[in-house]
Amino acid sequence: MSDKSMRRLGRRSALTGLAGASVTLPYFWTRRAHAAQQLTVRTPGGAYDEVKGPTVYEPFRKATGIEVIPVPATVAKLLAMHRSGQMEVDLIDTGDDVLLQLDLAGALEPLDLKGFKRTNPDDIEATVKHKAFVGCFNYAMVMGFHTAAYPKGKEPKSWAEFWDIKAFPGPRTLADMASGAPDLEFALLADGVAMDKLYPLDIDRAFKSLSRVRPAITKFWDTGALSAQMLADKEVVLAALWSTRLGVAIDKGAPLGAQWNQNAVLGQAYGIPKGSRNAEAAYAFIDFSLSPEIQGAWLKPYKAIPVNQKSYSATSPELLDPATNLPWTKSKGYVRDIVWWSESRPKVNAAWSKWIAQ
């Protein structure tokens, strides 16, 4: 990552720490004391829990006696719980951008990793450690391609080439505003902006760039499942999509490939909400799931990248840059600035609504 990206993430960490000084939650639980305890965790559900169940939840239950109960909850619902003083979940497992929103609303407890027993906090990537939440894995928005249209090595190698409809013909898909964020960064990269000069994003310039590629966009996708399905079905031959979705599709036999150059690094993270009835157990779970062994066991089949650097060796080979043996997110990516998006999403949404209606 560039020095500027690191400084930006430092600014983000400082911003998320305004709620108060960081403290270590109690950590003197015993297996016997928690023999019948349940930990309610907000998760994305679906395939996420299908993988995490046998690789994290069940090992955690065996180690501590604490049963993990995954539940769904939108950010709006979580904020409503906080405002009513009736928090119904003990731990939040979601995107780091959502946790930033919750932290700015005062809904998260400060989080100090120094009390960990299983995980060395120094092994966790600095860019995912914040005052009130911590990353649990990284993934990315990448360029996916259908190998029937573009054999590996023949696909576009940059977003400028993705935007070049004449040199690289074929239907494409990009993210809709409804997915959380349209691909403004890719539009700017395609227009010649350097990765370390992206933020603050030039919104007007990004939409002008999007207009150039729009004739080749079959549909803007609003869910990760749709993006992967469109590419697998060859409804499109090029796509910007989540690396986890692309990896699962490839594992299922879809003739697809990934181009990692100029990937946008995204993060999943943990935060303990204020009002958690089992904050101690939540803290223990975070510690457990960030340990090197559990990160490797969980994230290899999930096709995601560990935040514990001691787990890199257990990462799926296709997620590592063979030139550096580091994750592609570190060698070829930039970190999406969730602080900028938090501050600018209303303005982007207004610009998107006007642009998409044209």
Q: Which residue has the higher pLDDT, 144 or 251?
A: 144
pTM of the full structure: 0.84
What are 90-128's pLDDT values in tens digits? 999 999 999 999 999 999 999 999 999 999 999 999 999
Q: What does the pLDDT average to over 46-66?
A: 95
Strand ranges in 147-292 using DSSP code E only, listed in sequence order: 172-173, 238-242, 256-271
- The CA distance from 358 to 355, in Å, is 5
265 contacts 331 by C-beta, under 8 angstroms: no
- The CA distance from 294 to 308, in Å, is 10
64 contacts 27 by C-beta, under 8 angstroms: no
* Stated length of the chain: 358
Q: Kindly give the interhelix angle for 243-251 and 224-232, rounded to the nearest 10 degrees.
A: 40
CA-to-CA separations, 47 to 53, 54, 109, 252, 328, in angstroms, rounded: 10, 12, 28, 13, 23
At the topology level, CATH places domain 140-265+338-343 in: D-Maltodextrin-Binding Protein; domain 2 (3.40.190)
Q: Which residue has the higher pLDDT, 26 or 80?
A: 80
247 contacts 78 by C-beta, under 8 angstroms: no
What tokens appear for 38 in the block?
């349940």
Mean of all residue pLDDT scores within the chain: 90
Q: 140-265+338-343: same fold as 3-138+267-321? A: yes
What are 266-294's pLDDT values in tens digits? 999 999 999 999 999 999 999 999 999 99
According to the model, what pLDDT value does residue 314 have?
87
Is the model's pLDDT at 8 over the cut of 50? no
According to the model, what pLDDT value does residue 109 have?
98
What are 175-231's pLDDT values in tens digits? 999 998 999 999 999 999 999 999 999 999 999 999 999 999 999 999 989 999 999
258 DSSP β-pair partners = 144
According to the model, what pLDDT value does residue 311 have?
94
According to the model, what pLDDT value does residue 204 have?
98
- The CA distance from 275 to 40, in Å, is 13
Strand ranges in the chain using DSSP code E only, listed in sequence order: 38-42, 67-71, 91-95, 134-146, 172-173, 238-242, 256-271, 305-306, 320-321, 326-327, 333-335
Is the model's pLDDT at 32 over the cut of 80? no
Burial of 18 (0-12, 13-18, 19+ CB in 10 A): exposed
Q: Are strands 256-271 and 320-321 parallel, antiparallel or unpaired?
A: unpaired
Task: Give the three-class secondary structure for 234.
Answer: coil
What are 289-327's pLDDT values in tens digits? 999 999 999 999 888 999 999 999 888 899 999 999 899
Domain 3-138+267-321: give its CATH architecture: 3-Layer(aba) Sandwich (3.40)
What tokens appear for 74 in the block?
């939108």
Angle, alpha carbons 123-124-129 (nearest 5°): 145
- The CA distance from 353 to 342, in Å, is 18
According to the model, what pLDDT value does residue 313 have?
87
Burial of 272 (0-12, 13-18, 19+ CB in 10 A): buried
According to the model, what pLDDT value does residue 193 have?
98
Q: Which residue has the higher pLDDT, 136 or 17?
A: 136
Q: What is the largest CA-CA distance in the chain?
A: 66
Task: Give the three-class secondary structure for 304.
Answer: coil
What are 57-90's pLDDT values in tens digits? 999 999 999 999 999 999 999 999 999 999 999 9
Residue in the block written with tokens 């938090």: 342
Is the model's pLDDT at 240 over the cut of 60? yes
According to the model, what pLDDT value does residue 6 have?
39
Structural domain spans, the chain: 3-138+267-321, 140-265+338-343
| Nearest C-alpha neighbor of 307 from the set 321, 289, 284, 324 | 289
What are 147-161's pLDDT values in tens digits? 999 999 999 999 999
Strand ranges in 215-271 using DSSP code E only, listed in sequence order: 238-242, 256-271
Which string of DSSP letters, residue by residue, matches 48-77?
Answer: HHHHHIIIIIHHHHHHHSPEEEEE---HHH
According to the model, what pLDDT value does residue 36 have?
58
Is the model's pLDDT at 27 over the cut of 70? no
What tokens appear for 31 in the block?
């297996």
